[in-house]
Amino acid sequence: MYKNILITTAADNNSNILQKIAVARKLADNDSTIQIISVMERIPPYIAPSLPSDYRETTAQRIKDGIRKKIGDEHYEIHIVEGNAAHQVVKFAKRNGVDCIIISSNRPGFPDHFMGSTALNVVRQAACTVTVVR
């Protein structure tokens, strides 16, 4: 069905990544590529000088290790990027020819009605199919 699937996972919570992988497998063809992306929030410039010089690399590796621990022996390419989550996911998908994004959405609370969630923004901005998993 889809050839290039991108699974999103939050840097601090990849609890339902196995569920998203199962959905991706159902949507994938035999020769499809399934990739995982996690977005780190950008470090404010006034905080960056007080962090260790290898903070970004160490944090990215910690996130990758957490994802790998959760998915076990599954071999998927994992991408860690920095910035606004919705923007970075949409940008990555466009640059890499992704034809389906799989993203989580929790039940929206009162603040989501004003600011919007990452999932909502990805659905609005992505040029490809977006599958939302609860």
Looking at residue 4, its pLDDT comes to: 98
Q: What is the pTM of this model?
A: 0.90
Looking at residue 129, its pLDDT comes to: 98
Q: Which residue has the higher pLDDT, 95 or 114?
A: 95
* Model confidence at 109: pLDDT above 80: no
Residue 66: both structure tokens together: 């957490």
Q: Which residue has the higher pLDDT, 15 or 127?
A: 127
21-77 pLDDT per residue, tens: 999 999 999 999 999 999 998 888 898 889 998 999 999 999 999 999 999 888 899
Looking at residue 114, its pLDDT comes to: 42
All domains in the chain, ordered by first residue: 2-133 (3.40.50.620)
3-state secondary structure of 130: strand
Radius of gyration from C-alpha coordinates of the chain: 15
